[in-house]
Structure 1
Amino acid sequence: MINVLYIAVGEGGSDQALITLIKELKSKIRPYVTLGKLASLSTINKLKSENIPYSILNYDFFWYPSKKNLWNYITRPIYAFKLKNKKKFFTKQIIELSKQYKIDIIHTNSSAYQFGATAAQSLKIPHIWHLREYQSLDFGHSHAYSLPYLKKQLHKSGNFNIAITKGIYNFYQLKEENSTIIYDGVLRQSYKPKEFPKEKYFLFVGRIVKEKGIFSLLNSYKDYLLRGGTFKLILAGNYSSKTKQKIDRLIGKYNIQNNITLKGALPTNQIYDLMNRATALIVPSPFEAFGLITAEAMFNKCLVIGKDTAGTKEQFDNGQKKYNKEIALRFTNEQQLATHLTDIEQKQIQQYTEIIERAYNYVSSLYSIENNAKQIERLYTSILRT
């Protein structure tokens, strides 16, 4: 058995992928998970239900605030000093836990934490950096202490990197000698979606924030309605009160209050039911690192309309390369998205059955839980031999 300490965010898709991995490897590893200050009750309950030991260390992301805020930019030296002290503090905690649980590998489940790598170097054990974010392109933050500094850490002896897409692999300028691309495991190969009649609504799932393209989506949806569209739009995901106020103002300005429903955060089974019934899922994020929601929708035989950039584009391109045909509908601007929505309503969803089936077959083979777990198990075994 391999003793692995996982450093996790505590909420979101990265933790969903991690818990899925741990469950699949339960006969091969003894896991211990640490959670940050964002730890959600949902994540904690999932760990408890699977009898996965954990602790909450209350750490936050290791990145600088956006340069768009002048005060944050001016006070960066102070922020860097505080970050350095936090790194020392959490490194010490990880070292203590690693000694207590006789850890063989430290596996940091995000690019935005650096203390796991430092702890592993001190203990002289392997460290895996699971690179899931661009940080700057998808979240609008600067790398601590700089991008060149982080790249240098990624190439240190004893460190091994997993990039969840080719795009992230290239962004961090990773090298074959200590890095690999492993796509997340989403669902089992045997997964069969429920069969529901498609209903007259489009769906957005994810954090309801500007970075996910939510306001661009609303603009396109308004144009679709002006062209005579009648389908509803459902938004499912977490949102802040500030973002909710902005959305309400925009919806009021467009006078489309009766066409949009905000569901808030929902459990996975309810999200999948929404996908099963939706006419299409819309992925408007301008820079999605991977796009777990895209794969989940395809598993649930839901047509995907995605922005032709970053991880979303990579998924679409991989599918097109395999079948020499598209597995989703692409758009590059708001007008193209509005046109897709209009065409789908006019042509009816039955016209897109072949695309939906290709997408389902594609994700079942490439993004299966089994495939993901086998690759990571092989990585664990190989690095312990070096």
Structure 2
Amino acid sequence: MNHNKINALYILSSTNTFGGASKAITSLLSGLMAKGVSPTVVLPGKDGLYEELAKIGATVYYAPVRPNVYPKCKGLKNIILYIPRLLYWHALNAYSCKRIAGYIKDKHIDIIHTNVSIMDIGHDIAKRFGIPHIFHIREYADKDFNIKYFPGKEAYHRMFTSTGNYSICITKDIRKHHKLESTPSSRVIYDGVCPIGSVKTNNAKERYFLYAGRIQPGKGLLPLVKAYTEYVSKSGGPNPVPLYVAGETTDAAYCQNIRQHIAAHGINEHIKFLGPRTDVASLMQHALAIIIPSEFEGFGFCMTEAMFNGCLVVGHNTGGTKEQFDNGVELSGKEIGLRYDTEGQLTDHLCKIAGSQQQVFQETIATAADVVSRLYSVEVSVNNVYNYYIEILNNENN
């Protein structure tokens, strides 16, 4: 079956423009539109990503969709609100399901694509209309965000593999985590991070380390700050390389713990909180190194983005970060960054980078840029997703 035009419905969980999932879906939709895909996008708000996708020509609708997960149960307030939140979220999704059905009833949608694994509303609508559905599985859920699927992980896994459902996993490890390795209806397709030809490797470096990401427990900023504290102690000089922290705070209590640690060790003047930034690419280009300290990164969009921008990566050897390092070794025969397993090893890397001439890491930076341009370009990702759409539609119509 040859589709010259595919009408696709996308269900997104957030309007935030800074996250990897949001960046990935924006570039994916732009590329798919160039191939003749006509996207209709549903978002839970009318700001941020809603406006960006409307600007690129997507048809965008609002519906108050919510993840199908258990609410937080930490702290007295969350305990009190636990049952009301659970009931409210399900009521919102029931309402949203009707609303979305009204949007698409005359649009002849060919395929529904949910941009995360933690939402089942796309599956419900697809089942109602007899349309194939894709779960874009971007998260471990439990290991990275401490999220619990409702009503349970086993029920979700059955849904991933049920008739009419397909999945795109953003790494091999995430596919393995969700027990989809032997499932014919599942594919590993890496996110497209930057266009081919956009690599920047000849950057004049400035004297700072960089962390770029949300300030929340799973992203690992506190262990990084602890390792950095030890680096400051070992540096012995009055001017250690400062640490710049770029990103929004999504867990105030966690951020407060970090600030208390910084104050207790007297290193306030060495750590600069920049808040959310729109110039992260420039910060990457000029940093001595970016640190990716996540406990379990799903894919590591920021890591790949840094490599496209000619930035040395120091990464926690777990999850998607490890997979990207391993892919680099497999493809080039060389390490494409500095891995670490412990805070002590991270401290040693910071000391080595701070005490070395920039040219020491130029080969690593250049090799990393070559690897990511071959594996994680927007063009490669768009082609893989588009071809999977065609395969699914052919399968469904035979």
Q: How far is 1:71 from its partner?
A: 7.9
Candidates 306, 314, 338, aligned match of 1:305: 314
- Give distance in 1, aligned partners of 2:369 and 2:51: 30
Distance 2:90 2:155 in 1: 14
**2:191 matched to 1:184?**
yes
Within 5 Å, which residues of 2 pair with 1:153-164? 153-164=159-170
Distance 1:355 1:47 in 2: 36
| Contact kept? 2:11, 2:115, Cα under 8 Å | yes
Residue 377 (1) aligns with residue 383 (2): no
1:96 offset after TM fit, Å? 2.0
Which residue number in structure 1 is paired with residue 30 of structure 2? Answer: 23
Distance in 1 between residues matched to 2:282 and 2:202, nearest whole Å: 10
Q: How many residues align?
A: 382
Question: Do the aligned partners of 1:47 and 1:54 also contact (CA within 8 Å) in 2?
Answer: yes
* 1:233 maps onto 2:272 in alignment: no
The secondary structure found in structure 2 opposite 1:143 is coil
One-letter code aligned to 2:227 = S
Whether the aligned pair in 1 keeps the contact of 2:44 and 2:62 (CA below 8 Å) is yes
- Residues 256-287 of structure 1: CA deviation (Å, up to 9, x unaligned): 111111111111xx111100100000000011
Matched, 1:257 2:268: yes
Aligned partner (choices 290, 297, 304) of residue 281 of structure 1: 290
Q: TM-score, normalised by structure 1?
A: 0.94
| One of 242, 254, 258 as aligned partner of 1:247 | 258
3-state SS, counterpart of residue 162 of structure 1: strand
TM-score by length of 2: 0.91
Are the equivalent residues in 2 in contact too, given 1:182–1:372 (CA < 8 A)? yes
Pairing 1:56–2:56 present: no
> What is the CA–CA distance in structure 2 between the aligned matches of 1:296 and 1:99, rounded to whole Å?
39
4+ residue segments displaced more than 6 Å: 73-78
Instruction: Tell me the residue number matched to 1:128.
Output: 134
Q: Secondary structure, in 3 states, of the residue corresponding to 1:26?
A: helix
Secondary structure of 2:291 counterpart: strand
Q: Which runs of 5+ in 1 are unaligned?
A: none
SS of residue in 2 equivalent to 1:111: coil
What is the distance in 2 between the residues matched to 1:98 and 1:168?
A: 31
Q: Report if aligned partners of 2:295, 2:318 keep a CA contact under 8 Å in 1.
A: yes
1:33 aligns with 2:37: no
Q: Which amino acid is 1:129 matched to? A: F
Aligned-CA RMSD value: 2.0
Residue type at the aligned position of 1:258:
E
CA displacement at 1:337 relative to structure 2: 0.4
CA distance in 2, matches of 1:143, 1:329: 34
Q: How does 1:1-386 map to 2 (within 5 A)?
A: 1-9=5-13, 10-11=15-16, 12-27=19-34, 28-37=36-45, 41-66=47-72, 81-174=87-180, 175-193=182-200, 195-228=202-235, 230-240=240-250, 241-267=252-278, 270-386=279-395
- Which deviates more, 136-145 or 148-157? 136-145
Q: How far apart, in 2, do the equivalents of 1:73 and 1:180 lie?
A: 38
CA contact (8 A) 1:66 1:142 kept: no
